[in-house]
Amino acid sequence: MSLDSKVPSGPMEYRWTKYKFESKLVNPANKRKYSVIVVGTGLAGAAASATLAELGYQVHSFCFQDSPRRAHSIAAQGGINAAKNYQNDGDSIKRLFYDTIKGGDFRARESNVHRLAECSVSIIDQCVAQGVPFAREYGGLLANRSFGGAQVSRTFYCRGQTGQQLLIGAYQALSRQIGYGKVKMHPRTEFLDLVVVDGRARGIVVRDLVTGNIESFSADAVLLCTGGYCNTYFLSTNAAGCNVSATYRAYKRGAAFANPCYTQIHPTCIPVSGDHQSKLTLMSESLRNDGRVWVPKSAGDVGKPASQIPEDARDYYLERMYPSYGNLAPRDIASRAAKYACDDGRGVGHGGRGVYLDFAVAIKRDGRDKVAEKYGNLFEMYERITGESGYDQPMRIYPALHYTMGGLWVDYGLMSNIQGLFVLGEANFSDHGANRLGASALMQGLADGYFVIPYTLANFFASAKKEVLPTDHPEFKKVESEVSENIKKMLSINGKKTAVEIHRELGKIMWDNVGMARTKSSLESAISQIRNLREEFWGNVTVPGSGADLNQALERAGRVADFLEFGELLARDALTREESCGGHFREEYQVDGEADRNDEKFSHVAGWEFTGAFSEPIRNVEPLSWEVVQPSVRSYK
């Protein structure tokens, strides 16, 4: 397998401009002749569907929710980055580019990141034109706040509900095209498999989640905008329905899966409170602008009310360890620091797995009303979940799985190694390296959907032979048959464990062995345990009901089956990458508690190639070249 990035030549700052100018075009009348399948309706999917339909393409949009508005992008809270420099504090496209490369621990493709920084400026203008209600300063300009890994204020926000407001903007653009008849919307429809003929994506096989009907759709191109794979760990900040199935099944059809071991653990989440939980809740990173993170200096003070621990007995460990960035240290670093404090016996709350996020100083300085103006809905959410007021006492937070930087491999044009299969947003690997900076996920999703894919898809259409296969083609029928047989197999097992029970066991294996800290022995143990659990799944899972109607147990079982296979791939990638970088932290490779990269051996993208359900996959490599930013020790001290 060849992983050719197809990055344009020339100076970095002109590559995207050069690509756009040199791209082949499809004239407006001919665009109507092309059809596009878009799977997913989050920011990347909704933006892509709306934009492509506006240009004239025939678009079929699919989501398993009852409405596109229920996509998980709605859960993003803190903001979206853009190099507008409204604060006049030294920001620029180049600085956003540099911060993103450094934040990703020098494991991202430079050219893609620079394009992202360039597009960021246009994203804000587009969203304002759509009516997204960004916060504003006294003079009327859009307000900004800081996020981790940056020393400038470049994050635009709508209180603590930025993802919701941005998704509403994209949704209204999508709804407009649905109303015009240019987008055919398919809600409550789950992607089950990709159809590939002669090395080109030709369509998809889906299941109607209400009727159980299995159906095929054919098109000139397929876009996967299906998010990340955090729920491999069972407990994460992702919605319970988020899954890896679309990208993993594309991987089984020949798409390379890149850097699956790059998982992000967010430091600012409500801690686990018991085994009853099906997911965890994020408290936005924006809270660390004004909230101070601390634990007791002495384990003897653990258990005391926070108000009874005097100032000189508190350890504001992020401010102590990383004075240049303080409480806004990047997510991977802040997460590990919280873990170390709790491992030292100084954690607070249930099981000693929590640290304080304290707003007392901000409330005293600015007043409670000002704090509520910026973060009020987050405080309300925290109180509803915990029964405690973050105004009257410190919040308790602890790291949790939140985002994944790995995903299907794509070239500069966002096309996978399968011709005609494009991958957008969190589902691809391209922009964040080994650690995503806060407020950059929304930026990537909208950049890919609004500004990148219209050019790259047109260039593909104009360069490739137009040929849409009918859905009665033998390959479509073959994939439909395979999908149906897999469903029948799961329904016929009649074991004693539910898919949820097995998923919970997988999550414990992943968190304990492939979580914040990984070792050779823990990863080898994870691979062995996952294989055993996989065998148990196919011999002892129970899936009640049938495949001929609404069956959420069947939906869950199919997704858990994919998590079980993918979890092994994730652990294998982590085992092979013998270094620490960003969210991938191998305890054998560290210097004074910080990640120890091995640029000589691992300055590359690892793209895994499927060779069979029980065979070891092939590890392919795309070398990373450094032309503008030279890798250095990643320091936030």
Query: At what angle are helices 499-513 and 520-540 packed, to 10 degrees?
Result: 170
Rounded to whole angstroms, the maximal C-alpha distance in the chain is 74
Could you say which of 200, 331, 396, 634 is catalytic? 331
CA-to-CA distance for 242 and 245, rounded, in angstroms? 9
Q: Which helix (H) or strand (E) holds 84?
A: none
CA-to-CA distance for 446 and 424, rounded, in angstroms? 9
CB-based contact 425:242 (threshold 8 Å): no
Sheet order of strands, 257-258 included: 407-408, 257-258, 604-609, 618-623
Nearest to 338 by CA among 395, 405, 278: 395
DSSP string across 404-443: E--EE---TTSB-SSBTEEE-GGGB-SSSTTSPPTT-HHH
Helical H runs in 322-405? 331-341, 360-366, 368-386
Is 331 annotated in the active site?
yes
Structure token pair of residue 216: 């095929």
Strands 355-358 and 407-408, by their bridges, are unpaired
Amino acid at 225: C
User: Whose structure tokens read 């209180």?
Assistant: 159
Cα Rg, the chain, nearest whole Å: 24
b/e per residue, 541-568, with b = 16+ CB within 10 A?
bbbeeebeeebebbbbbbbbbbbbbbbb
- Residue 221 pairs in a beta bridge with 36
User: Whose structure tokens read 């709605």?
Assistant: 74
Residue 205 DSSP code: E
Helical H runs in 223-311? 245-252
Q: Which helix (H) or strand (E) holds 223?
A: strand 221-224
Angle at 11 between CA 19 and CA 460, to 5 degrees: 15
Structure token pair of residue 457: 């898809």
Catalytic (active-site) positions: 331
